[in-house]
Amino acid sequence: MEQKLAKHGMFSWFELQTTDVAAAKTFYSALFGWKTEEMAMPGMPYTIISAGGEQVAGMMAIPPQAQGMPPFWGVYVSVDDADVAAKKAQQLGGAVIVAPTDIPTVGRFAVLKDPQGAMITVMTYVKK
């Protein structure tokens, strides 16, 4: 990831959670010419999406705790501290949907909901 995308407030990653990863890979690869590559993640398969030779997004099956949700594209915004961002969201009338959680070798994320109901994921990336 480009260092500028890890700066606080920058949109940094996009992720599809879907009920059929294989079908989504076929669809989006044909539609946009995206390349996909499997990545080992603890506890689940994860697909990295590249466009123009750069990793730009990911794709995964909807996790068990979110079963019943329709497939969706999510967006990640970089923050200096995911825990601080989660607390601040609550102070501003939002909610924490997924508490700050570590992704080994990647960073720490939280899923937040704004007062109008829109969800967004914040991420503090591991410094490399």
Contact 55, 1 (CB under 8 A): yes
pLDDT digits (tens, 9 = 90+) for 38-87: 998 878 899 999 999 999 999 999 988 888 989 999 999 999 999 999 99
**SS3 state of residue 95:** strand
Q: What is the pLDDT of residue 77?
A: 97
Given a cut of 80, whether residue 128 has pLDDT beyond it is no
Contact 78, 36 (CB under 8 A): no
Across the chain, what does the average pLDDT equal?
94
Residue 74: name the closest of 91, 51, 97 by CA. Answer: 97
Query: What contacts 24+ positions apart, CB below 8 Å, involve 80-83?
Result: 80/8, 80/124, 81/124, 82/107, 82/108, 82/109, 82/110, 82/122, 82/123, 82/124, 83/108, 83/110
| pLDDT at site 60 | 95
How large is the average pLDDT for residues 3-23? 93
Contacts (Cβ under 8 Å, ≥6 apart) of 1: 12, 13, 55, 125
Is it the case that residue 35 has pLDDT exceeding 80? yes
All structural domains of the chain: 3-125 (3.10.180.10)
